[in-house]
């Protein structure tokens, strides 16, 4: 096997078929001849006579055999490496460390990634102990620039991928920090080394937490980074400000002294830099300040000051507002020249930061912003001034006092509406965005009698303008409908009903575009969906006409599937079908019982669509969601479609690698609600598939909580008919309730939380479904109580409204099932009383949750007093 030639073909051959064949050969070798394959790649990487691109691909190829985004695949790869012969591993490590010293920066870059991938496996196992010392040695000031750069790059990658809570990794923090700070210091003559070191520092900040907690080391780190903000090179300055933002994010609690002595002045000066990157990163620093202070406020409100006394806000944003706010407002005029240039600009960064300042400091942003708006909104000669004024106004609508905002919007709305016809696209786009913000955040400032008609006229104008304007106008209409017509389906008419006749046809026309430039077509479909969802009963004729149009469009796309040739056309058609299906789903839900007359036609079309799809097509999810809507609308009458639909449902449930599988599981739950006991002839087969998926260790883990919740829904729907499955499902729940995180990543912690919430859903469903059969539940009450105690002690679960409602409701349900006090001792446990009491008194919980907790308390008293 000529690995050099195959790698070259895979990357550089102009013939697409030869590239594909080379890729196939590499994949086949990796799967079937792994040891030989990585040996050949190692040789290719070591071959200094080979082309740069070939050596790079060899390095990346080796790295890709060690790490993957998919956790299951990554674990398999790690175990495969661990079981590899020591001599083979040593050869790869020796080759990579030697290649890291190459003068070819591109090869060194790919090798740095390979070194990090190996380190990610070996360092937590106390293996490859010489790695960090060698890399540190390679960063010393007397080493060649290429060696220092590559070594710092490797450190950055290692810190980026490894677990910062692993004690074996953290033990290397001192050496890592010394190497990085050496590279960042101003006496380092090479710009590229300083840049690489700064980036490595950003990645290492979580690892060096113990160093950062020591004042002397912290002072030195901050001094070095602050000095870098004053470097002669703008790229270095930008990276340094980015590093300060990351430090602020992780170590806000230590920042007071540095803000006072240096950071206020440095960052305001940086914001005024003529260099776009420097100004953007300096603004990002203040955005981070606001985000941290908002998070502290939120946590203090949620958990109470006593729970986390270390959560202290120093109000950095408020202290600096007199310097920062005028700078931000001025920066709003530094927009991109081309209105279709969506690259991140200083003006965009400033607008985003201003929104955070408004949320963080409230009324303190109002006066200076209004002065800026008044001075610029009427500037007839400079579009930048007009656009900046509208951007500023729209950016302060979330945070300040609503009463004050209502008054201000009442005064400013008319001048802003006039600008929807401005000659500048920048201005019109921002006006439409600003109107959307008003509708979303302060809709009560829009006087229905005085403002609504002129607002809608402006939006109609904008809908027929440039796609960027029409997209924002669609968003504004959606916000208006959600805010003004939330109970529309329960009302004969709504405040928006008189305008359906005008606006819906314009949206229908806009949604019929052949392209989706700036998401304008998709936005039109979303807006139409919102008009459907919040329609009053007097708009049903318009909704029915819309249904006919949408059905015709969907039917025409089925014929188009055979005609698409290019992958771009195929993607465009699939996107269009997804938009149509989403709108149709909402129409079906809104028309509800009226759908029964068209259900045969709908199901015929959906089954045709399913039949026409290639395996794992994304659109399958949307078809399943639409079918769920039909089932909800037709109820038990859906039974007549089950025979034809079951093969598609079964196939989706068994295809556990596809995202459609999750949707299919949800659809089983929906079908059980719609069909009730009529689902029983199909239930055993469906339960067998779901059970097999749970028992399959290869199944992606995010499917498990969905299946557990589905079991609860089925139990609720079929009642006592669930008894044959009770023991099997309960044993799964008992096992799943004891799950613990395998690592400390947020992804894993969220997964464990999802599993436990799904166990709770399942328990609630089964107890509710078997309410009239208490003896079927009796054997499982003890483990259910053990689980509920865990929920009560889990701060994340017990402070989540829906979880607390379900958990206290379950306590009440079990108490009501056993009125003779069979579980009196369980209800006398102090944690039960404490949990119910906390739920009843939680200020942020909904009234229904508090009412559920009160009912649970009543059931508890009855148990205790029996």
pTM reported for the whole predicted model? 0.86
- Which of 162-166, 485-489, 593-597 reaches the highest mean pLDDT? 485-489
762 within 8 A of 669, measured Cβ to Cβ:
no
Question: Are 635 and 724 found together in one domain?
Answer: no
Q: Is residue 26 part of a domain?
A: no
Question: Are 632 and 765 found together in one domain?
Answer: no
Joined together, the tokens standing for residue 723 give 């008894």
What distance lies between CA 649 and its chain's CA centroid?
28
Annotate 344-353 with b (16+ C-beta within 10 A) or e (fewer): ebbbbbbbbb
856 within 8 A of 836, measured Cβ to Cβ:
yes
Q: Is residue 753 part of a domain?
A: yes
Q: What is the pLDDT of residue 361?
A: 96
Please give the tally of structural domains in the chain: 2
Cα–Cα distance for residue pair 148/141, rounded to 1 Å: 8
What digits encode the pLDDT tens for the residues 20-72? 777 777 777 778 888 887 888 888 888 888 889 888 988 998 899 898 888 77
Cα–Cα distance for residue pair 311/293, rounded to 1 Å: 10
DSSP-based helix, strand, coil % in the chain, nearest 5? 80, 0, 20
Question: Are 815 and 749 found together in one domain?
Answer: yes
Question: Are 695 and 801 found together in one domain?
Answer: no
Q: What is the pLDDT of residue 426?
A: 96
Joined together, the tokens standing for residue 115 give 């070194």
The mean per-residue pLDDT over the stretch 92-117 comes to 93
Question: Are 696 and 721 found together in one domain?
Answer: no
Q: Is residue 757 part of a domain?
A: yes
Locus of tokens 């019982």: 593
Among candidate residues 648, 675, 700, the one where a domain is terminated: 700
Is residue 521 very low, low, confident or very high in pLDDT (cuts 50, 70, 90)?
A: very high
What digits encode the pLDDT tens for the residues 242-251? 999 999 999 9
Question: Are 782 and 683 found together in one domain?
Answer: no
Q: What is the pLDDT of residue 749?
A: 87
Cα–Cα distance for residue pair 82/233, rounded to 1 Å: 44
495 within 8 A of 446, measured Cβ to Cβ:
no
What digits encode the pLDDT tens for the residues 688-742? 999 999 888 888 888 999 999 999 999 999 999 999 999 999 999 999 988 888 7
Is residue 168 very low, low, confident or very high in pLDDT (cuts 50, 70, 90)?
A: confident
Residue 744: DSSP 8-state:
S
Question: Are 692 and 765 found together in one domain?
Answer: no
Least confident of 364-373, 468-477, 504-513, 591-600: 591-600
Joined together, the tokens standing for residue 268 give 């305001």
Q: What is the pLDDT of residue 808?
A: 95
Percent of the chain with pLDDT over 70: 98
Q: Is residue 650 part of a domain?
A: yes
Which residue, among 782, 784, 804, has the nearest Cα to 793 in the 3D structure?
804
3-state secondary structure 596-631: HHCHHHHHHHHHHHHHHCCCCCCHHHHHHHHHHHHH
Q: Is residue 546 part of a domain?
A: yes
Residue-range definition of the domain harbouring residue 686: 536-700
The neighbour count for residue 70, using CB atoms within 10 Å, is 10
Question: Are 665 and 774 found together in one domain?
Answer: no
Q: What is the pLDDT of residue 10?
A: 67
Question: Are 843 and 798 found together in one domain?
Answer: yes
Q: Is residue 274 part of a domain?
A: no
Question: Are 601 and 691 found together in one domain?
Answer: yes
**CATH number for the domain that contains residue 788:** 1.20.930
Is residue 306 very low, low, confident or very high in pLDDT (cuts 50, 70, 90)?
A: low
Residue 759 has pLDDT above 60, yes or no: yes
- Three-state DSSP at 775 gives helix
Residue 502 has pLDDT above 80, yes or no: yes
Inter-CA distances, 218 with 160, 210, 250, 316, Å:
21, 10, 13, 19
388 within 8 A of 329, measured Cβ to Cβ:
yes
Helix or strand (DSSP H, E) at 583:
helix 567-591
The mean per-residue pLDDT over the stretch 576-601 comes to 92
Orientation of helix 497-510 relative to helix 540-560, angle to 10°: 10
Is residue 418 very low, low, confident or very high in pLDDT (cuts 50, 70, 90)?
A: very high
Inter-CA distances, 553 with 503, 511, 580, 583, 736, Å:
19, 11, 8, 11, 46
Q: Is residue 856 part of a domain?
A: yes
38 within 8 A of 85, measured Cβ to Cβ:
no
Among candidate residues 677, 700, 723, the one where a domain is terminated: 700
Among candidate residues 671, 700, 729, the one where a domain is terminated: 700
39 within 8 A of 3, measured Cβ to Cβ:
no
Question: Are 550 and 646 found together in one domain?
Answer: yes
| DSSP string over 324-368 | HHHHHHHHTT---SSTT--S--HHHHHHHHHHHHHHHHGGGGHHH
Mean pLDDT value across the chain: 92
Residues 6+ away with beta carbon under 8 Å from 597: none
Residue 116 has pLDDT above 60, yes or no: yes
Q: Biggest alpha carbon distance in the chain?
A: 88
The runs of H, that is alpha helices, within 737-846 are 746-769, 774-777, 781-793, 795-798, 801-817, 824-827, 830-841
Locus of tokens 């590279």: 183
What digits encode the pLDDT tens for the residues 370-390? 999 999 999 999 999 999 999
Q: Is residue 473 part of a domain?
A: no
The mean per-residue pLDDT over the stretch 746-752 comes to 86
What digits encode the pLDDT tens for the residues 224-244? 999 999 999 999 999 999 999
The mean per-residue pLDDT over the stretch 106-123 comes to 93
Question: Are 576 and 653 found together in one domain?
Answer: yes
| Terminal-residue alpha carbon distance, the chain | 82
Cα–Cα distance for residue pair 161/178, rounded to 1 Å: 20
Least confident of 314-323, 363-372, 609-618: 609-618
Percent of the chain with pLDDT over 90: 73
Q: What is the pLDDT of residue 161?
A: 83
């Amino acid at each position: 096997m000529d690995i050099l030639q195959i790698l070259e073909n895979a990357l550089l051959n102009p013939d697409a078929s030869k590239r594909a064949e080379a890729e196939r050969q590499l994949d086949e070798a990796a799967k079937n001849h792994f040891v030989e394959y990585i040996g050949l790649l190692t040789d290719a990487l070591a071959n200094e006579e080979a082309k740069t691109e070939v050596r790079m691909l060899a390095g990346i190829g080796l790295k890709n055999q060690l790490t993957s985004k998919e956790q299951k695949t990554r674990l398999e790869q790690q175990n495969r490496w661990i079981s590899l012969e020591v001599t083979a591993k040593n050869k790869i490590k020796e080759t990579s460390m030697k290649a890291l010293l190459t003068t070819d920066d591109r090869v060194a870059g790919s090798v740095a990634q390979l070194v990090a991938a190996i380190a990610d496996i070996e360092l937590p196992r106390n293996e490859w102990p010489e790695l960090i010392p060698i890399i540190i040695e390679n960063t010393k000031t007397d080493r060649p620039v290429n060696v220092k750069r590559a070594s710092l790059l490797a450190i950055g990658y290692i810190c980026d991928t490894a677990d910062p809570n692993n004690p074996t990794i953290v033990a290397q923090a001192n050496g890592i920090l010394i190497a990085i700070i050496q590279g960042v210091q101003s006496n380092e003559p090479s710009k590229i080394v300083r840049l690489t070191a700064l980036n490595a520092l950003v990645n290492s900040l979580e690892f060096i937490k113990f160093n950062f907690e020591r004042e002397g080391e912290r002072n030195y780190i901050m001094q070095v980074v602050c000095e870098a903000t004053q470097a002669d090179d703008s790229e270095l300055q930008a990276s340094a400000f980015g590093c300060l933002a990351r430090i602020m994010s992780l170590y806000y609690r230590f920042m007071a002294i540095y803000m006072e002595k240096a950071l206020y002045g440095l960052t305001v000066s940086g914001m005024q830099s003529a260099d776009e990157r420097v100004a953007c990163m300096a603004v990002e620093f203040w955005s981070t300040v606001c985000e941290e202070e908002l998070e502290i406020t939120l946590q203090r409100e949620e958990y109470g000051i006593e729970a986390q006394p270390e959560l202290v806000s120093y109000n950095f944003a408020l202290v600096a507002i007199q310097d920062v706010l005028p700078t931000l407002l001025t920066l709003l005029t530094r927009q991109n020249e081309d209105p279709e240039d969506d690259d991140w600009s200083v003006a965009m960064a400033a607008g985003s930061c201003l929104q955070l300042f408004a949320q963080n400091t409230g009324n303190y942003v109002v006066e200076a912003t209004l002065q800026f708006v008044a001075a610029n909104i009427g500037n007839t000669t400079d579009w930048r001034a007009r656009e900046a004024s509208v951007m500023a106004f729209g950016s302060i609508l979330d945070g300040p006092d609503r009463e004050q905002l209502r008054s201000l919007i009442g005064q400013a709305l008319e001048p802003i509406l006039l600008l929807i016809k401005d000659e500048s696209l920048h201005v019109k786009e921002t006006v439409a965005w600003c109107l959307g913000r008003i509708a979303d955040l302060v809709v009560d400032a829009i006087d229905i009698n005085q403002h609504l008609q002129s607002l809608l006229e402006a939006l109609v104008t904008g809908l027929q303008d440039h796609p960027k304007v029409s997209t924002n106008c669609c968003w504004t209409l959606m916000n208006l409908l959600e805010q003004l017509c939330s109970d529309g389906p329960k009302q004969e008419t709504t405040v928006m009903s008189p305008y359906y006749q005008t606006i819906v046809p314009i949206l229908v026309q806009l949604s019929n575009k052949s392209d989706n430039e700036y998401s304008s077509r998709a936005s039109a479909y979303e807006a139409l969906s919102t008009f459907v969802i919040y329609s009053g009963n007097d708009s049903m004729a318009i909704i029915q006409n819309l249904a006919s149009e949408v059905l015709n469009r969907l039917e025409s796309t089925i014929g188009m599937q055979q005609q698409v040739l290019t992958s771009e056309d195929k993607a465009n058609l699939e996107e269009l079908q997804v938009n149509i299906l989403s709108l149709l789903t909402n129409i079906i839900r809104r028309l509800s019982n009226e759908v029964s007359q068209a259900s045969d036609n709908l199901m015929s079309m959906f089954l045709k669509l399913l039949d026409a799809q290639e395996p794992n097509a994304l659109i399958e999810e949307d078809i399943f969601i639409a079918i769920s809507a039909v089932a909800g609308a037709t109820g038990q009458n859906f039974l007549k479609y089950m025979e034809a639909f079951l093969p598609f449902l079964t196939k989706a449930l068994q295809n556990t690698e596809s995202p459609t599988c999750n949707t299919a599981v949800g659809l089983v739950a929906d079908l059980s609600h719609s069909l009730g006991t009529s689902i029983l002839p199909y239930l055993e087969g469906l339960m067998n598939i779901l059970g097999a998926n749970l028992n399959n260790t290869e199944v992606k883990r995010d499917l498990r909580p969905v299946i557990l919740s589905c079991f609860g829904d089925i139990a609720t729907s079929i009642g006592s008919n669930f008894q044959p499955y009770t023991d099997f499902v309960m044993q799964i729940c008992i096992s799943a309730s004891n799950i613990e995180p395998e690592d400390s990543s947020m992804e894993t912690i969220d997964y464990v939380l999802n599993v436990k919430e799904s166990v709770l859903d399942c328990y609630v469903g089964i107890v509710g479904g078997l309410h009239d059969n208490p003896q079927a539940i009796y054997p499982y009450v003890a483990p259910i109580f053990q689980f509920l105690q865990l929920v009560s002690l889990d701060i994340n679960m017990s402070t989540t409204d829906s979880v607390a409602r379900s958990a206290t409701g379950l306590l009440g349900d079990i108490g009501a099932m056993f009125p003779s006090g069979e579980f009196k001792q369980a209800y006398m446990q102090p944690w039960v009383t404490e949990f119910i009491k906390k739920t009843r008194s939680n200020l942020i919980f909904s009234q229904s949750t508090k009412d559920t907790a009160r009912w649970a308390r009543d059931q508890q008293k009855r148990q205790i007093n029996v």
